[in-house]
Every structure is written in structure tokens, then in C-alpha cells.
Chains A and B, each alone.
Chain A
Amino acid sequence: MPTVIVPPPYQGPTRAVGRVEVAAGSVRDCLDELEARFPGFRAQVMSGDAVHRFVKLFVNGELLAGPDLERKLEGSDEIEIVAAIAGG
């Protein structure tokens, strides 16, 4: 099953769980599944139907161009959600 890596700032809904295996065939399905399991998760990543401007999605270490949420996933894929959280 694909794995989603959740950064610490977004672990509120996942209760500090940072790696989640998700039965999903696409990036969009992953985010939907995470929302079903951890209500409130999707709003951290998405603004309506688009990814927040300040969020980047990586699949297997490569930036997801677009981002193409329909990108098909294999069982061993890792989706990483990255957002800049720090600031002086």
C-alpha cells in the first residue's frame, strides 16, 4: 500500500502519527482516505479542489508536477507532504 508521510505541523488530526499506509490508487484517493480516517486533515493540504500554495507534494522524492492529483500510485510509493513551518 502507498505510504503518506505527514509533516509534524499537520499531525494534529493524525494525533502525531507521521507515516500512514493508505489503500489508494491515486494521490487524490490518498488524501480522501486520510480525510475519512482523520477528519480535518484535507483542509490542511487543500484549498477547495487545489493544493494550498504553500504545500508541496513529493512522490518517491520527486516533486509532483502540477500537482497532478490523479497520478496513479503503486504499492511501494511514498507521498510526502512538505510545508515550510518555521519563521522568525
Chain B
Amino acid sequence: MTGGPSGDRILYVDMTSQTTRFEPFPEAWKLLGGRALSAKILLDQCDPACDPLGPDNVLVMAPGVLAGTAAPTSGRISIGGKSPLTNGIKEANSGGQPGQHLMKLGIRAVVVKGQPKDPGKRYGLELNAEGAKLVPADAYKGRWNYALCEELAQRYAKTASFMSCGPAGELRMRGASVACTDQDNRYPARHAARGGLGAVMGSKGLKYVAIDPGRTGVRQPADRKGFGELCKTYTKGYQAGPQMFKHGTSSVVPIANMLHTFPYKNRTSGQSPDVATLDGARIVESFATRGGGMHNCMTGCIVQCSNIVHDAEGKYKTSALEFETLTLLGANCAVKSWEDVADLDRLCDELGLDTIETGAALAVLMDAGQMEWGDAEGMKALLRGLPEGDAQARAIGDGAVATGKHTGHHRVPHAKGQAIPAWDPRPLKATGVTYCTSPMGADHTAGLIVNPGLQPDQFAWESQKAQIVNAVCDSSGFCQFLQPSMDDIRSFYGALYGSEVSREQIHDIGWQCLADEWEFNRRAGFGDADDRLADCMATDPVGAVPTVFDVSPEIIRAAKQRMPAREDLFSVKATG
């Protein structure tokens, strides 16, 4: 392929020697970005047997291929590394501005290696048109994310965005997230949350990354006319459609409850009696009297699924209060009110913790009898005290499996050490096949199939299809809520580089991403026996007709054997 943005680079950062260097971005990798690029770099440069919190782990920050262009809703970024939660490869994807900004500087990936000799030191990484520089950041040690970003906003230009780890990451808690600032207020409300990559960032002494592209315009495609027309047509088509996410994913709560995938009390039920007070419709209703509203998390987003939530006094409380958070910190802990979940969401964002993993861990604690069900004030107090906390708080920060070990409790719903998200594998068995086989562990964004009517002979293909499509989407920079198909994505790639991308090529990109990740995990010691869910998913039923996860190992194995492409592989929309 020829044409397209040239002069792109990879930035290598060595935290041991405190040096940075740019390398040219290989021409052969032009169609790689985000998750696929992270997978390739990690397989090539990270020892899969390494200690995830030691110097040999590699932290990758890779925007999608289309980030920084005028393509709608295309600025997402992948954070990758060996996960301290699963001990396998991890990619966590985030919105906000950093992805766009890195690409505007021509930086296709930031690859962070090594570790400062003094684990007590903190550093910031400054990226702008002049280059890259590591600076001391001890003054921000232990800073919670919102206060940190407020200070960084004073220190850096208005055009800068930030990525950071909170106290949870600095304390190397295995549920720690990497925060990214959003478009409007530069609040750290977008998180690359799953799998503990915030702990990897913290283990490298990297407290923040400040990215300032200045007034650089959008990246220009090789076929400007064709790309421009694609952007217009796609945007028009999207805006003429149902726009189902215009009130955010929190509006999914009642449907999920109806389908018995709104887990309650550590997944002992698939429905919550508090669905009405956890429904995202209550959040939308609050806008009329409190202010707040819907907005884009990144420039150029046409979906606008992110909510800005205010308190009863009309003051900002939190942003991006999503379905998964309302489920895992809400229903799954028997918390009744969305307002309490909003407080918990803010606390997780401040500390830099994955709301899914933290909610799952707290539910295990409650199920073990060590906290009352629905004790929202107790949950908030525990989280507020986490940085100075005791062994119990540490266990919560380390996630559901660690909390299970700490309490000796038997019911810990997870796959490969990562807590199962809201979408339950018992009524949604094809999704369960994804949780078993995904290199990520239990990750709904790896391939969500919400079709309770599927028959067993359809599970393997549906899971494989969803995993390939979502891998390509998470490599492209597109948000899964825009729901692009593989045909859509390859059309944009073709116009970006001025040369058609075939169906075979885009299929290969998605499959190779998965193959690289599976190979990393194999070298890390994973085998077929690890492609399973926690026992409780096979023994504890949910649903009007009691249902467990009972998919055979043969079907699960089949999902990892590459199947010939079918037409629907290229037309189905990404769903996560």
C-alpha cells in the first residue's frame, strides 16, 4: 500500500534510564493501530513470563488507525500490557482526547519499558510538537485523578489532554485503571479500565502523560474527496437512524433486566427489584432540574453517549455513568439508587479503579457476609479509605478473585481472573463462549452477543465473528457504540491510504490480532484448560427458566479455530 499519513513514529520511553527515543513507524504496519498494534508490539517485545508489575513488562498506548482524522467517533486509544489481574495479555480501550492528540503528533504508539530504581519516584511524560520529555512528578504523588488533572490543566496549555494513574495504580492494585481526559472539561472521566493496566503504569513510576498537539489540524487522507464523502454519508446515515445510544448506555438497564442479565447480589439472580431506581431514564430526568446532559467524550463524536451527572444542588458529580457501573456497583451489590452509584463511580474515577472489577469485588465481600447488602455508605467509606486501607481494602483494589481469597468465599464469578461484567453468560451463552476464549478473560467488549435464542451449534461462529469484528473495531479508533461493520472500517482505511483494503485483508487483521494475543497467553502459561468460567456459572441458575452456562468444551474450542468467512462477518455491526 502507498500513500496516507507519512512521518509517523513510535515513541519508546525507558523508565530505568529515563530516556526517550523516536523510531519510524514501519510502513508494513500501516493498517495496524489500537489493539492489533498493541498485540504485535507486546508479542514481539514483552516477555510473556515476566512479572506484570516488574521492569520487564511493557506498557503500550496506541491510538486507532483513524484517530486524528475527520472520521466520526474515531479517536479511541488502546492501552496494552501484561495484565497483573489475569497474568495474560490485556488491551483496555478508552475514549477521551489522548488518542486524537497522539495521532495529530504522528505518534502511533508510546511504548513504556523499564522501571525507576527508586519505586518512590514519580514522573510525567510531556509530548508536544517539540518532542518527548520525562519530568519529575513527585509533587503529584498520591494525588487523586480529578485534583491531578485540575493542576495539570493549570500547568499545560488549553490544547493538552492527559492520561494518568490514580492512587490505586500507584499502589499497584490489580484493578487499577488508566484515566483519560474528556473533551469539554478535561475531567479524568474516561478510563481504560479492565485488567489493571493502571497498576502497570504506576509500577513504572509514570503518574501522567500530557499530550499537547497545539493547533495541529486533522490528519489528511490520501483520498481527501473519497474520505470526505465517506464521512458525510456515514454521519448522515447514522443521524437518520434510531440513534439508540443518545441517552447513554444507562438506558439499557430495563432491557437487560428483562433478559435476566442485570445481576443482583453477586449474580445470585439475573434481575434486580431496584431496576426502576437504577434505570438510566432517572439520570436523563435529572437533567431538567439539575443541569448536566449528554456530550461527546472526544472531538468528532456523533454518538454523544456520555452523560454529565450533577448532584441535587446542580453541581457536577461524575461523568459517563454507564450500564456496567450501574450493574456491578449498583444491582450486583443491591445498591438501590443511581445517585449512590454516581458517588461510587466518582470515587472509582478519582482513585483510578475499574468500576466493574471493584463492584464485583464488593459483591463478593457482601456475599461473604463481611458487608451488608446495599450498604452504599459503607462502600463509599471503604473506597475513600482505600489508599491507606487495611488488607480488606487492598483485596477490593486487587479485584474479585483476590477478595474471594481474602474472604474464603466460594462464589467468585470470573474468567481467567477477570470479573464477569453485567452481560451474563448464563442467558447469553454465546457471550459466555467469548468470555471463555477471549485472550482478555471475561470482557464483554471483546465480543458481545445478545441473542438468547441462539442454538448451541451457532455459539462458536457467533463468538468468533464478534471477537474478530470487535478486534478490528478496537484497532481502528472507532467507538463500538458507533457500531461500524468490517466493510465500513475497510472503506475508511481504503480512503485513508488511497488503496482498497479487501475483505480478506480486514479479516486477516482481526484474526491475526487474536492469534497474537492467544500466542502471548500460551507463552505466559495458559492452556485449553483455562478457557472456562468460574464453577458458579455452571451451578447457579438464573432466568425464568433456570439456566446455567453449560456449553461443551468442544464448542468452546471450536470458537478458536479459524472458520471460513461468511457474509455476515463483514456486515455485522461491532457490539460491546
Residues of chain A touching chain B, judged by Cβ–Cβ distance below 8 Å, are: 8-9, 11-17, 43-44, 52-54, 56, 58, 63, 82-88
Contacts and interface: CB of A to CB of B under 8 A. Distances in A.
Contact of B251 (A9, A54, A63, A82): A54
Interface stretch (B102-110, B143-151, B206-214, B451-459): B451-459
A9 B449 CA distance: 8
A11 B255 contact: no
A54 B452 contact: no
Contacts of B448: 86
A37 to B, nearest CB: 14
Contact of B249 (A44, A53, A87): A87
A12 B251 contact: no
Interface in B435-482: 444-445, 448-455, 458, 480-481
A13 B453 CA distance: 7
Contacts of A14: 453
B324 A9 contact: no
Interface centre among B251, B255, B576 (most CB of A within 10 A): B255
B455 A15 contact: yes
What 8 A-B pairs have minimum CB-CB distances, sorted nearest first? A84-B244, A11-B453, A87-B323, A87-B249, A12-B452, A8-B451, A16-B453, A87-B252
Interface string B207-225: 0000000000000000000
A28 B245 CA distance: 26
Nearest to B451: A8
Given A54-B251, A54-B254, A86 B575 contact: yes
Given A16-B451, A53-B254, 17 more contacts: A9-B451, A11-B454, A16-B455, A16-B458, A17-B453, A52-B255, A56-B242, A82-B242, A84-B244, A84-B255, A85-B252, A86-B480, A86-B481, A87-B422, A88-B324, A88-B445, A88-B481
A8 B576 contact: no
Contacts of A85: 252, 255, 450, 575
Nearest to B325: A88
Contacts of A53: 254, 281
For the residues of A in contact with B, the DSSP-based class is loop
Nearest to B355: A88
Contacts of A15: 453, 455
A86 B427 CA distance: 15
Contacts of A54: 251-252, 254-255
Nearest to A56: B242
A43 B259 CA distance: 11
Given A8-B449, A86-B249, A63 B242 contact: yes
Contacts of B254: 52-54
A57 B448 CA distance: 23
B322 A9 contact: no
Interface in B197-255: 242, 244-245, 249-252, 254-255
A84 B251 CA distance: 8
B575 A9 contact: no
B258 interface: yes
26 contacts: A8-B449, A8-B450, A8-B451, A9-B259, A11-B452, A11-B453, A13-B453, A14-B453, A15-B453, A15-B455, A43-B258, A44-B258, A54-B252, A54-B254, A56-B242, A56-B244, A82-B242, A83-B244, A84-B255, A86-B249, A86-B483, A86-B576, A87-B256, A87-B322, A88-B480, A88-B481
Contact of A88 (B323, B451, B455): B323
Contacts of B453: 8, 11-17
A6 B384 CA distance: 46
A83 B252 CA distance: 9
Interface in B299-329: 322-324
Contacts of B256: 87
Interface in B403-439: 422, 427
B284 to A, nearest CB: 11
A58 B450 CA distance: 21
A37 B281 CA distance: 32
Contacts of B427: 12
Contacts of A13: 453
Contacts of A12: 259, 427, 451-453
A88 B249 contact: yes
Contacts of A56: 242, 244
Nearest to A63: B242
A86 B449 contact: no
B51 to A, nearest CB: 29
Nearest to B323: A87
A81 to B, nearest CB: 11
Interface centre among A13, A54, A87, A88 (most CB of B within 10 A): A87
A86 B452 contact: no
A18 to B, nearest CB: 9
Nearest to B240: A61
Nearest to A9: B450
B258 to A, nearest CB: 6
A54 B323 CA distance: 14
A88 to B, nearest CB: 5
A8 B423 CA distance: 14
A17 to B, nearest CB: 7
